[in-house]
Amino acid sequence: MHSETTDPMLSVSGLNVFHANLQVVWDLSLHVDKGELVTLIGPNGAGKTTTVETIVGLNKKASGSITFLGENILGMHPYDLFHKGLALVPEKREIFPKMPVIENLMLGARDRTDYSASLNHVYSLFPILKERERQMAGTLSGGEQQMLTIGRALMSNPKLLILDEPSTGLSPLLVGQVFRSLEQLGREGITVLLLEQNVRHALNMCHRGYVLENGRIIKEGKAKELMHDPHIQKAYLGF
């Protein structure tokens, strides 16, 4: 396991989450240390999105504890968490369709007066967004909208970046690019929690992983070990 000298950025323990009266996450514990890239994998319906929505304050029906940089954040407002440096790339994109690309990006900035460096960074990652700067976001193609969603989250220079299936709908070339840019961000010191159906890529890129099935963590470990786990190979890698 992890040595005590590392810095816990995010620590979740004994988390239970409900949708209406239905419990979908059970006694979940996980941690992401500073500078770590961690992946949470699991089949569709396992509760991955519910878990990260709870972490960023979007789901209030939860018990247990969630600490971010040492502070208990369970129940805090998403907006306050955003200003503390927590950014989510949501599964459902949630862009503003009637606003141009550039304004969607500006909304992602924590500092609305000085964002030109972040904007240049995002544009170098996804040049098509610069080309389409003035186009209404709702008329972008699906993959372009996905790039916009990732770009918007990066605009806030987050301390912890949580990505809910960022490669969804992207061409193989862009999937490669997104993963390489995440690796690059990791080298620059950003901390990442990644939810991803592309399990092979996720395990290749991340240091550690958790496996969530039916709302419970059933396995955790170093990414390299999980890659060779027979259950994971069969259920997630399609062997």
Partner 1 sequence: MLSIRGLTKQIGGLCAVNGVDLSLGDNEIVGLVGPNGAGKTTLLNMISGISVPTAGTIIFCGEEITGLRAHQICKKGIAKTFQIAESFPGLTALECTMIGALFGNHRKISMGEAKFEAAQILDFVSFPQEKRETIIKNLNVVELKKVQLARALASKPKLLLLDELTTGLNPKESNEAVELIKKIRDNGVSILIIEHVMSVIMGVSNRIVVLDHGEKIAEGHPYEVVNNQKVIDTYLGDMHAF
Ligand X SMILES: Nc1ncnc2c1ncn2[C@@H]1O[C@H](COP(=O)(O)OP(=O)(O)O)[C@@H](O)[C@H]1O
Closest separation between CB of residue 28 and ligand X, Å?
Answer: 11
- Single out the residue of 13, 171, 184, 214 in contact with partner 1 (rule: CB under 8 A): 171
Give yes or no for residue 59 binding partner 1 (CB under 8 A): no
**Applying CB under 5 A, does 49 fall inside the site for Mg ion?**
yes
Strand order in the sheet with 71-72: 22-33, 8-19, 62-68, 71-72
In this structure, how many other beta carbons lie within 10 angstroms of the beta carbon of residue 148? 24
Interior CA angle at 102 toward 39 and 110, to 5°?
Answer: 60
Residues 6+ apart with CB under 8 A from 169: 142, 143, 146
What burial class does residue 234 get, using C-beta atoms within 10 Å of its C-beta: 0-12 exposed, 13-18 middle, 19+ buried? exposed
User: What is the contact mask toward partner 1 in residues 118 to 137, using x (rule: CB under 8 A)?
Assistant: ----------x---------
**CA atoms within 13 A of residue 228's CA, in its CB half-sphere:** 3
The answer to whether residue 53 forms part of the interface with partner 1 (CB under 8 A) is: no
CB of 48 to ligand X, least distance (A): 3
Q: How many CB atoms lie within 10 A of CB 112?
A: 9
135 touches ligand X by CB under 6 A: yes
Contact between 24 and ligand X per CB under 6 A: yes
Total residues contacting ligand X by CB under 6 A comes to 19
CA distance 187 to 124: 17
Q: Which of 2, 7, 23, 45 binds partner 1 (CB under 8 A)?
A: 45
In the three-class reduction of DSSP (H, G, I as helix; E, B as strand; rest coil), residue 211 is classed as strand
- The residue ranges of DSSP E strands in 156-207, in sequence order, are 160-164, 191-195
Binding site partner of 1, from partner 1, Mg ion, ligand X, none, Cβ cut-off 5-8 A by kind: none
**Chain residues 119-148 in contact with Mg ion, contact rule CB under 5 A:** 142
The residue range among 29-37, 70-78, 101-109, 135-143 that interacts with ligand X, by the rule CB under 6 A, is 135-143
Candidate list 2, 6, 14, 45; residue touching ligand X; CB under 6 A: 45
Indicate whether 147 belongs to the interface with partner 1 (CB under 8 A).
Answer: yes
In angstroms, the CA 36 to CA 191 distance is 5
Residues that bind partner 1 (CB under 8 A): 43-45, 128, 140-144, 146-147, 165, 168-177, 197, 199-200, 234-238
Residues that bind ligand X (CB under 6 A): 19-20, 22, 24, 42, 44-50, 135, 139-144
Residues that bind Mg ion (CB under 5 A): 48-49, 91, 142
